[in-house]
Amino acid sequence: MTQFLTNSFIYKGLEVTHLVKPKLRNSYIQIKNDATIFVKTPKVAPNYVIEFLNSKEKWIQKHIDAIKKSPFKKINLEDEVLLFGEVYSIDSPEVFYLREKLHRTKKQDIKSIVKLYDAFYKNLAQSYLTQRVEYFSEIMKLSYEELKFRKMKTRWGSCSSSKTITLNTELLKVKKEFIDYVVVHELAHLTHMNHSKSFHILVESFLPNQKELRKGLKAMKII
């Protein structure tokens, strides 16, 4: 069995975890949403990691700044819920469904709890996001074939050539204005399967502040 070695230390005020994976060919840096840094490397010299971090300092700072500007707030699982850019207590009426599920579950491990949160967001997505898609579909006079919801790590939404729109259930964590932007963005792809000038003109005709919304959404990290 391959054994991985880990080492944690502070680099310029930031928490860094170094994970050694002998089979890796290259070195990688990953920045979590809480601004902690993971460095993955093959077996290297003791001073290599610091030199590697120094070489990527501008890139690291850029991502740390983006995280600080992100509207996402850190929450305590089982006690709080992030919904539409705001933190709610688990006892709030807005999250009654989740509170009941948490109280009934016999498994209290983190994976089981995260699954309950994911189910909560997907359930809400099927109602709230469907309403927003139907609303903008009608005023934009654009029809889609199918609407899907799933948790995604790298994109907020997608639109296929078969007119299937897929929305990230993590959208329920951001402000409603950003949700509307993603909805309009994906619906616009029904007419323009690209990001051409005509595509952006179409989006802007329904969301005049689309440039600011796009910029704000790009600054966010998908949780």
Tell me, what's the pLDDT at 76? Answer: 67
| Mean pLDDT, range 82-110, rounded to an integer | 76
> How far is the C-alpha of 173 from the C-alpha of 117, rounded, in Å?
11
Instruction: Tell me the pLDDT tens digit for each residue of 159-172.
Output: 999 999 999 999 99
Q: Tell me the percentage of the chain whose pLDDT exceeds 70.
A: 89
Q: What pLDDT is attached to residue 159?
A: 96
What the block records as the tokens of 204 is: 């802007």
Per-residue pLDDT reduced to its tens digit, 54-74: 999 998 888 788 766 665 556
Pairing of strands 164-168, 157-159: antiparallel
Give the whole-angstrom CA distance, residue 182 versus residue 171. 9
Residue 179 has pLDDT above 60, yes or no: yes
**Token pair in block for residue 164:** 């299937």
Residue 37 has pLDDT above 60, yes or no: yes
pLDDT of residue 223: 47
CA–CA gap between residue 214 and residue 48 (Å, rounded): 38
Fold of the domain built from segment(s) 80-218: Zincin-like (3.30.2010)
Helix/strand/coil for 83: strand
Question: Encoding tokens for residue 72?
Answer: 């996402």
Does the structure show a pLDDT above 90 at 141? yes
According to DSSP, residue 171 is labeled: G
- Looking at the chain, the domain(s) classified CATH 3.30.2010.10 span 80-218
Is 7 strand, coil or helix? Answer: strand
Please tell me whether residue 30 adopts helix, strand or coil conformation: strand
Which of 205 and 90 is assigned the larger pLDDT? Answer: 205
Across the range 93-100, mean pLDDT stands at 76
Q: What is the mean pLDDT of residues 110-120?
A: 85
How confident is the model over 178-185, as a mean pLDDT?
97
Looking at every residue in the chain, the average pLDDT score rounds to 86
219 or 29, higher pLDDT:
29
Give 96's pLDDT tier (boundaries 50, 70, 90).
Answer: confident
> Which residue did the predictor score with more confidence, 188 or 103?
188
The mean pLDDT value for 183-199 works out to 96
Residue with tokens 């305590």: 76
177's enclosing H/E stretch is helix 176-188
Contact 24, 58 (CB under 8 A): no
Structure tokens at 173: 């964590």
Contacts of 12 (CB under 8 A, 6+ apart): 57
The string over 151-162, giving b where at least 16 C-beta atoms fall within 10 Å of a residue's C-beta and e elsewhere, is: ebeeebbebeee
pLDDT tens-digit readout, 149-161: 999 988 999 999 9
